[in-house]
Amino acid sequence: MLNNSQTSTRRQEFFLGARDTIPLIIGSIPFGIIFGAIAITAGLSVWAVLGLSLIVFAGSAQFVAAGLVGQGATVGLIVLTTFFVNLRHALYAASLGTYLRHLPQRWLIPLAFLLTDETYAAVIKRFQAAEQSEHRHWYFLGSALAMYTNWQICTVIGIVTGQKLAGVSDWGLEIAMVVTFIGIVVPLITTRAMFTCCVVAASVAVIAIDLPNQLGLIVASLAGISAGYAVELFSPQSTDKPKVT
């Protein structure tokens, strides 16, 4: 990371973003591969799987959607479930909004599309750092494009292995998703509201694990968000952020 006496350039910020995201990229590689394999074995066409990664680009939602397709779920249920799975991105956006609101739409739209859990974890630390570079959005872009490129490559590998190797979806590679999310979430738990949200969501997810069509994810998400909001409401935390110049 640059020190306070340096003025970072666009190029420096871009490559810093990509570099700082490498550990999270490594953790997501098995996740991307198993998605491609599971989606193919669930009955999706190659173009449908590629389209999900290229156009949707939402790992956990894609994973859930592929599983629901394999279970024969309705389109409405798939859309509703993935909506709630991705609802956390609204919270990410609200958190980053203070730092990005000065940007024009030509920046905000692609950055919104490219936002992932891994990129958020890297970017929020950069934005909260003492060094106030006017080019920090290039850090965001570097991180996001590194993740996007990695995800497309891993999806293709997963498609190929899913077609060539029998039972690849049973290898247990999806554990990488759990490990990656733990690595992302734990360092960001800095307030009582965040801790409460995580504990409640995890507890409800375990209790509701037997609900059909992965509806437990929706119930756990709503419970965690509600609990965290309640704690935040009754014991407010300061939300002041450094001003972006």
Q: For tokens 């437990």, what's the residue?
A: 216
Q: Say if residue 203 is exposed, middle or buried (CB neighbours under 10 Å; 0-12, 13-18, 19+).
A: middle
- If asked whether residues 137 and 25 sit together in one domain, one would say yes
- If asked whether residues 54 and 158 sit together in one domain, one would say yes
136 in any annotated domain: yes
Q: What is the pLDDT of residue 109?
A: 93
- If asked whether residues 81 and 120 sit together in one domain, one would say yes
Whether pLDDT at 173 is above 70: no
- If asked whether residues 31 and 120 sit together in one domain, one would say yes
Separation of alpha carbons 171 and 186, rounded Å: 26
Last residue of a domain, one of 119, 142, 172: 172
Per residue in 70-80, pLDDT (tens digit) is 788 888 888 88
- If asked whether residues 106 and 211 sit together in one domain, one would say no
- If asked whether residues 145 and 226 sit together in one domain, one would say no
Contacts 24+ apart (CB under 8 A), 129-133: 129/1, 130/4, 130/242, 131/1, 131/2, 131/3, 131/4, 131/6, 131/8, 132/242, 132/244, 132/245, 133/2, 133/7, 133/8, 133/13
Per residue in 21-61, pLDDT (tens digit) is 998 888 788 888 888 888 888 788 899 899 989 998 888 88
- If asked whether residues 218 and 108 sit together in one domain, one would say no
Nearest to 83 by CA among 228, 218, 229, 226: 218
Mean pLDDT of 116-120: 89
Per residue in 222-238, pLDDT (tens digit) is 888 888 888 888 875 54
- If asked whether residues 160 and 223 sit together in one domain, one would say no
Q: Are 96 and 121 in contact (CB under 8 A)?
A: no
Q: Please, which pLDDT band fits residue 243 given cuts at 50, 70 and 90? A: very low
- If asked whether residues 147 and 50 sit together in one domain, one would say yes
Last residue of a domain, one of 122, 144, 172: 172
Domain that holds residue 217: 189-234
| Whole-structure pTM value | 0.74
Average pLDDT, the chain: 82
Q: Are 38 and 155 in contact (CB under 8 A)?
A: no
Q: How many CB atoms lie within 10 A of CB 141?
A: 22
Cα-Cα-Cα-Cα torsion 150, 154, 157, 161, nearest 10 degrees, comes to 170
Number of folded domains that form the chain: 2
- If asked whether residues 136 and 16 sit together in one domain, one would say yes
